Amino acid sequence: MFRKMIVSVAVGGALLASGAAVAGDPERGEQLATTCFACHGAQGRNDSPQYPQLAQQNEEYILIQLQNFQDGSREDPLMSPQAAQLTEQDKKDLAAYFTAQTLCP
Q: Which domain holds residue 47?
A: 24-100
Q: What is the CATH number of the domain that holds 53?
A: 1.10.760.10
3-state secondary structure the chain: CHHHHHHHHHHHHHHHHCCCCCCCCHHHHHHHHHHCHHHHCHHHCCCCCCCCCCCCCCHHHHHHHHHHHHHCCCCCCCHHHHHHCCCHHHHHHHHHHHHHCCCCC
Stated pTM of the model: 0.78
Position 38 in a domain: yes
Position 53 in a domain: yes
In tens digits, what is the pLDDT along the chain, a chain of 105 residues?
445 445 444 444 444 444 556 799 999 999 999 999 999 999 999 989 999 999 999 999 999 999 999 999 999 999 999 999 999 999 999 999 999 999 986
Position 2 in a domain: no
Position 5 in a domain: no
Count of structural domains within the chain:
1
